Amino acid sequence: MTRPSQMASFLLALKFLTRLPVRLDAAPPDLLAQSPRWYPAAGVVIGVIVGLVQVGAALIWPPLVAAILSTGVGIVLTGALHEDGFADTCDGLGGGRTKEHALDIMRDSRIGSYGALGLILMLAGKIAIVAALPAGAVFWVLIAGHAISRGSMLWVMQVLTYVRTEGAGIAVSRLQPPEGVRVAGVTCGLAVLPLAFVLPVSAVVLGLVGLVAGHIALRRRFEAKLGGYTGDCLGATQQASEIGFLLGCLAFAT
195-241 pLDDT, tens digit per residue, is 999 999 999 999 999 999 999 999 999 999 999 999 999 999 999 99
Identify the CA nearest to 124 among candidates 64, 80, 57. Answer: 64
Q: Report whether 135 contacts 254 (CB < 8 A).
A: no
- 32 against 35, higher pLDDT: 35
- 134 against 33, higher pLDDT: 134
Q: Report whether 47 contacts 143 (CB < 8 A).
A: yes
- Give dist(CA 242, CA 211) in Å, integer: 6
Number of H helices and E strands in the chain, helices first, is 11, 0
Q: Which residues face 11 on adjacent strands? A: none
Q: Which residues face 162 on adjacent strands? A: 229
Q: What is the pLDDT of residue 33?
A: 80
What DSSP letter does each residue of 146-158 carry, written as one string? HHHHHHHHHHHHH
Q: Is the pLDDT of residue 254 over 70?
A: no
Q: Is the pLDDT of residue 247 over 90?
A: yes
- Give dist(CA 232, CA 102) in Å, integer: 12
Q: Is the pLDDT of residue 4 over 70?
A: no
pLDDT above 90 as % of the chain: 80
- Give dist(CA 207, CA 198) in Å, integer: 13
Q: Report whether 201 contacts 213 (CB < 8 A).
A: no
Q: Is the pLDDT of residue 115 over 90?
A: yes
- Give dist(CA 103, CA 92) in Å, integer: 7
Q: What is the pLDDT of residue 176?
A: 83
Q: Is the pLDDT of residue 17 over 70?
A: yes
Q: What is the pLDDT of residue 162?
A: 92
pLDDT average, residue stretch 92-106: 91
List, for residues 126-185, the tens digit of each pLDDT value.
999 999 999 999 999 999 999 999 999 999 999 999 998 776 666 667 778 889 999 999
Q: Report whether 89 contacts 236 (CB < 8 A).
A: yes
pLDDT band at 56 (very low <50, low <70, confident <90, very high): very high
User: Distance between alpha carbon 64 and the CA centroid of its chain, in Å?
Assistant: 22
Reduced to 3 states (helix: H, G, I; strand: E, B; else coil), residue 225 is helix
